Amino acid sequence: MHPIRKKRLTIVLFLVAGIAIAVGLTTYALRQNINLFYDPTEIAAGNAPVDVRIRAGGMVEEGSVARDADSLLVSFRVTDFSASVPVQYEGILPDLFAEGQGVVAMGRLNDQGVFVADQVLAKHDENYMPPEVAEALERSSKGQHKSADVEKAAETTAY
């Protein structure tokens, strides 16, 4: 083969191989790591998969936060005002975690229907509401439960 063609062929082969590896790895990694968001209504209705890493979010139900006496285990309920889901978490909660505030948790649903979180995110400041939470509240509060918080949330998401 002509040396220039040979060289070009090498380059092309290298490129194709590189792209193939990259695409392969990407699709594989993507498939492993996509975390879908479910709101409490969906989880309560059994629409969320068990033992798959998902995101869940809503408001922390008033009076639901309970701490274990000698570990960092904490349990609380997350609600969208039409259904609520029990959440368990062991570790440090974010500074702005509080009852009546919006949170997003990452974790897995176990067979007892408890959401075992490995990460809990709360809002950065008083104006911020996780967009997923805002939308979930919006969906569940068609009409009666429209609290001030929900209205604020809807404003934040209107981009």
Smallest gap from residue 107 Cβ to another protein (A): 12
Using CB under 8 A, which of 95, 111, 142, 144 touches another protein?
Answer: 95
Using CB under 8 A, which of 5, 71, 143, 148 touches another protein?
Answer: 71
Q: What would the two tokens of residue 131 be?
A: 């967009």
Distance (Å, whole) CA 24 – CA 103? 34
Work out the burial of residue 7: count CB atoms within 10 Å of its CB; fewer than 13 is exposed, 13-18 middle, 19 or more buried: exposed
| 106 binds another protein per the rule CB under 8 A | yes
Listed residue (79, 92, 97) closest to 133, CA to CA: 79
| 139 binds another protein per the rule CB under 8 A | no
Among all chains, which residue has been given the structure tokens 């029990």? 86
For another protein, the binding residues (CB under 8 A) are 4, 6-7, 10-11, 14-15, 18-19, 22, 25-26, 28-30, 32-37, 53, 55, 67, 69-72, 74, 90-93, 95-97, 106, 124-126, 128, 130-132, 135, 156, 158-159
